[in-house]
Chains A and B, each alone.
Chain A
């Protein structure tokens, strides 16, 4: 019998600040519940020790400004490393699935990182996906983001990658941070339809979540046929979560994991640390281990209070219809038509870092390429609250880069270095797993690893 692997890293000595929701206490009651339950003793479960992700593991996914050390504490590296430990155990065939119950979380961290957004600095799932692709040659990946907040960071990182299916359901961006994740955000031109966002009305219940799962997520997964399914497992859709307004129960979450059958789940948000997390985490672990979770019930659970209005049900159905239409049309976007207009697809973004109070402006360009995923350049300028500014230029070469993209990306990088217009210039060469930071501030220097 292959087991369910667990990495439990509650970071009992790390917090954003003493009273911040992301603090030492967050997984304390979860620890109590799963230890008292004796889950780690069950023959179906095996516990792994996390490790620190390396600088290179982070640089494979992110452009950290000014560098990886500047954006990560050890706790971040261990949380990401915890996900890598589970990934290794899965790929070595030691486990049939696994759950990295780690903090701090990561799904709001985008490709370029100037600071902390939504409690996240680096994206644990994305780092794990890039690691799986680099080390094990995994190509097709599906990430299902079940956190109540839109997984905007993960979306950003895989927006132009047709081999990563990213589906996020979340409380509607008009009513909740980060204010994005609408149905029209469906992927870049070369990856249209492989990003699917399901904004849900506040007050959505187990019924609503499972409607989305049964009618959208599972059929799409079935068609996409990923090699690996990842649950970006936020637990803040729970009816007691203090930061959101949904009505999902521990049973709802456990059933979701049973049906979705993710290969790997990585913990994201969830801030009802007493009323939800001990029960939701126990439910997810039992479901992943194939054990009966029907006895995992919150003390105050009352089915009659968790009812969804018919109007909301109707709205959810409409959203699912709309997204199914997007999914069906995904191959109809003719790359040639777009390429005819311009060789590059360009988008401008403004990003707000709520935790660190930073405004960022970005111009992102993607080569529309027939032979590979196309290389990406990002010009990013950040305005910090203390008037500090930084301007950076980033070049990303995909794993499967064609010769033309590879050469042009290098040229763009060298031109940026020569121009002296940027504080930092980055080259992320995933094809050869080599990462460079050129520093223009003070003494010019080049770091490569």
Chain B
């Protein structure tokens, strides 16, 4: 049996799944200053009827790290950057104390300016004088050669400063995103470690011996223990959970829009050919772009509790919450009231909802049902607009190859799946507007927890192999090593090396990998020509384990509306 727990901003949801059936589910308000308590309460509720020894695995999605960052609950970190030639560091977006050091590595991983040891000593004393205990050390092109970062890190560690190095956080090109992510990693690690240890203890106390995982923003999982290495990867796991949940509850392999309707916002995500679409820019945390991969999610500022008022000869959404819906004793009529009046929703007081809508109907000279329909239409239109935008911007993603431009993908969804309390009526209305099939599954109200329960580890190794320099680097973990220079190295050697690195990564993260299922998802080769002679080759190879979910609940638990 699998457990999924999503400690969300408003509710904490949990489900217990056996094969492809939901055995029990729960939903209750998150206690904000005690996320652990919320998590354990949810756990206890879904497991109270079962023998804990039957639990095979637990996956948790939590806003812990997001909250720490948003609320500034972390110890300040000194940012130590080695920019080399390029943008003036003065124009960097960082508000943190930034210390610039000399030295530079270029795009092929060659040292172009050596480190200055004396300057490093001065930097360390300045950092200490300012009272910092922790530093993020990030060099431009450290993903191509980590020697400088490692050396600086060693010197800092010997001086008693706690460090994190950029290349360990991400080897993908983008110095500023890497710097922000490294800073957030070192900033949140202590709190996250504390959380992990407490969770582990609480589970042991309940005799739950199943492995515990934590959900990442890209929908993959990390073992709770390994998440200590990369705490910030767990930000934004909420939207990932709801997308995965929708995936488990919707038709396999199709193009689906996921619509998670909350009180004040509606989050949209896309599943294309059965796979969630990833954001092209890294997740934005505190206004900084990061190197954290996340799903492409768009938030529309309308939800079940959005206040509605008369404006001119029509009604208008106010794009803010003025309190609960009228049917729950609130001050303004809302889409939830409209849904209740139209029979799409079954909680709250219908009479109160009608009373609220009359306030809108009277000045417009129409009846309550007409107003309710108008509200639903407005709501649907604002969501439809955002869905169109999402597809357009997805089609507008830059392309760097002729092939990509000649094979443009123009996709419009087949399904729209609605999760969240107000989903049924709105999903049908939006589906009509964009001409696709509405899917309103059973268990939609705990889709997030289902998403966590079915999430799987995904492993990816992206190698850049430069046979001219005799060097390879792995983007995901910053590993680097040497290869024999040009002569005999071929594309199949590149793929083999990439697979080896993937397996090594799997070993480090304790993820079992079926070697036969590892696939090459990207491969390109550039001849390095100097003069008119080929002096090497640059390979970019990506191998990954298939992105799958543990189980699907669509046929069994879901149903078409």
- Digitize A288-312: 1 where CB-to-B-CB distance is under 8 Å, 0 elsewhere: 0001111111110000000000000
In the complex, A31→B398 CA distance in Å?
13
**In the complex, what residues of A have CB within 8 A of residue B533's CB?**
19
Is A25 an interface residue when CB atoms closer than 8 A count as contact?
A: yes
A14 to B140, CA, bound (A): 29
| A12/B538 in contact, CB under 8 A | no
Contact partners of B399 in chain A: CB under 8 A: 9, 49-50
From A14, A19, A295, give the contact of B534 (CB < 8 A): A19
Interface segment out of the listed A37-45, A91-99, A107-115, A402-410? A37-45
**A41/B281 in contact, CB under 8 A:** yes
Distance in Å: Cβ of B547 to nearest Cβ of chain A: 24
Q: How many A-B residue pairs have CB under 8 A?
A: 123
Tell yes or no: A75 within 8 A of B by CB. Answer: yes
One digit per residue, 1 when the CB lies within 8 angstroms of any chain B CB and 0 when it does not, for chain A 68-92 equals 0000011100100000000000000
Q: Is the CB of B107 within 8 A of A36?
A: yes
Q: 8 Å CB contacts to A: which residues of B71-119?
A: 83, 85-91, 104, 106-108, 112-113
Interface string of A351-365 (1 = CB under 8 A from B): 000000000000000
Q: Does B70 contact A (CB under 8 A)?
A: no
The answer for the CA separation of A278 and B106 in the assembled complex, in Å, is: 10
Looking at chain A, what size class is its interface with the partner chain?
35 or more
Within residues 173 to 198 of chain B, which ones have a CB less than 8 A from any CB in chain A? 173-177
B87 touches A47 (CB 8 A): no
Question: Is B206 positioned at the interface, with any CB of A under 8 Å from its CB?
Answer: no
- Is A296 a contact partner of B526 (Cβ separation < 8 A)? no
* Interface status of B401 (Cβ within 8 A of chain A): yes
Closest to A279 in B: B85
Give the residues in chain B near A73, CB-CB below 8 Å.
402
Q: Which residues does chain B contribute within 8 Å of A18, judged by CB atoms?
A: 527, 529
Task: State the interface size on chain B (CB cutoff 8 A).
Answer: 43
Say yes or no: A25-B85 contact (C-beta < 8 A), given A41-B289, A47-B398.
Answer: no
Chain B residues, CB < 8 A from A32: 107, 141, 173
Q: How far is the CB of A123 from chain B (nearest CB, A)?
A: 19
A8 in contact (CB, < 8 A): yes
Given contacts A18-B527, A291-B88, contact A10 B174 (CB under 8 A): no
Contact of B108 among A13, A29, A39 (CB under 8 A): A29
Whether the pair A13, B403 counts as a contact (CB closer than 8 A) is yes
A35 contacts which chain B residues (CB < 8 A)? 173-174
Can you list 19 A-B contacts (CB < 8 A)?
A: A9-B400, A12-B401, A12-B526, A18-B527, A23-B529, A24-B527, A28-B538, A36-B107, A36-B173, A36-B174, A36-B175, A38-B87, A38-B289, A42-B87, A48-B398, A51-B405, A274-B107, A299-B85, A299-B113
Interface residues of B (CB under 8 A from A): 83, 85-91, 104, 106-108, 112-113, 140-141, 173-177, 281, 289, 396-403, 405-406, 524, 526-529, 531-534, 538
The 6 tightest CB contacts between A and B, nearest first, are A32-B107, A299-B112, A38-B176, A292-B88, A35-B173, A36-B173
Which residues of A are in contact with B by a Cβ distance under 8 Å?
8-14, 18-19, 23-25, 28-29, 31-33, 35-39, 41-42, 47-52, 73-75, 78, 242, 274, 278-279, 282, 286, 291-299
